[in-house]
Chains A and B, each alone.
Chain A
């Protein structure tokens, strides 16, 4: 039998348990239950106290605030995110390609961030959009960028008395969107590589450009300095900047395995996107 297991009935109770015994929150269980699995008919065992928060209503649901900020409760499932039109394209797309139907019905956005796998599907688009994570403890709240929260492979800045409460995404202006996940098959695949890109083009000028690479290093890779290479440029200049930009982007990647494949695939996707924009692609999703 495990150290101990709690089933708090509301957020306050959960925060008290978290403060007192530092119990690990179990949200959808799709990562933790697999890690703790021991066999048929044998109950899973965790090395630390666990608290099952799956049914805490306070942490569920999606809302949009007056200034357009999208707020996603930590226990919102991938299926709920994938089916909500208010959610920004890259997040919705990534959620819709996570695992298969039943996994998406259990897996939560908070769990996916807390698990902090470099291959995790949701941190990648969240980091693209400068999303923030709100951390709650019995003593108060603090928030930080998801990019700062995830500090490395399976490592986060979560304190042992905190719970991820919600994820906040401010509106981001963009005209051209791209999301691609490479897995071993269409459904139920863990990312081999993923890439999100967005550009905001106005009167031929690249007003904003962002990209984020998943499964290509110890955490999601993004670099504002590299993105700046393209920002402020006219789309006619893009072809001459492809080499400089993709090489600089390549420099921030640190794939743990098959580096050549991951680097070359990323370079090709970035080049493709830039070529399409340079060719005057209509605003929308670049397929």
Chain B
């Protein structure tokens, strides 16, 4: 089988992948591009540790084959942390004590980023729904929810 060439945008830059189109997006990001902020937890699309943003939407990169990525716009924590909103969320997570072991946090930040990009002043229910696919074994979620609220108030300047 011939290797396929797949072009996509990664953290704002045009990149190319050459290889098996069934290779998982998570493996390409971690091993080929060195973006180790993408974590592998369950490997079945359920825990959210491998979350990335694909065309503006949160997806789990462990169950996405490279063939599905052609022409897509992919963002990982390494790109989002340099955006204005990303930086606000990360600072709020640190100030709010949202982080313990940190393994779920890149995914949590990306889920928060998508939520706050789509909604201003989200309700607690909306916040919990937005991170419902991101599992955290340490915090019990309350401090993460509080930190997302903090990030939202800070970006609105209140």
Contacts and interface: CB of A to CB of B under 8 A. Distances in A.
Contacts of B152: none
A169 B6 CA distance: 36
B132 interface: yes
A40 B24 CA distance: 9
A105 B59 contact: yes
A4 B79 CA distance: 33
A36 to B, nearest CB: 7
A55 to B, nearest CB: 6
Interface of A: 1-2, 4-5, 7, 26, 29-30, 33-34, 36-37, 39-46, 50, 52, 54-55, 79, 99-103, 105-106, 186-188
B153 interface: no
A5 B21 contact: yes
Max chain A C-beta neighbours (<10 A), residue from B6, B48, B59: B59
Interface string B83-119: 0000000000000000000000000000100100000
8 smallest A-B Cβ distances: which pairs? A100-B133, A52-B67, A187-B132, A54-B68, A33-B63, A105-B57, A102-B58, A100-B132
16 contacts: A1-B1, A1-B20, A7-B70, A29-B65, A41-B30, A52-B22, A52-B65, A54-B67, A79-B57, A99-B45, A99-B133, A101-B58, A101-B111, A102-B111, A103-B133, A105-B57
A77 to B, nearest CB: 9
A54 B70 CA distance: 10
Q: Binding site of A, secondary structure by majority: helix, strand, loop or mixed?
A: loop
Nearest to B30: A41
Contacts of A37: 43-44, 63
A76 to B, nearest CB: 14
A186 B59 CA distance: 19
B17 to A, nearest CB: 12
A1 B133 CA distance: 31
Contact of A44 (B1, B22, B68, B132): B22
A101 B133 contact: yes
Given A5-B67, A37-B43, A55-B68, A102 B60 contact: yes
Contacts, number: 113
A34 B44 contact: yes
A2 B21 CA distance: 10
B4 A188 contact: no
Q: Binding site of B, secondary structure by majority: helix, strand, loop or mixed?
A: mixed
B71 interface: yes
Contacts of B6: 7
Contacts of A103: 45-46, 60, 133
A43 B27 contact: yes
A12 to B, nearest CB: 18
B64 A101 contact: no
B11 to A, nearest CB: 18
Contacts of B58: 101-102, 105
A260 B45 CA distance: 31
A102 B68 contact: no
A165 to B, nearest CB: 19
Contact of B71 (A4, A52, A55): A55
Contacts of A2: 1, 20, 22
A7 B4 contact: yes
Given A102-B59, A103-B45, A33 B24 contact: yes
A7 B72 CA distance: 14
B63 to A, nearest CB: 4
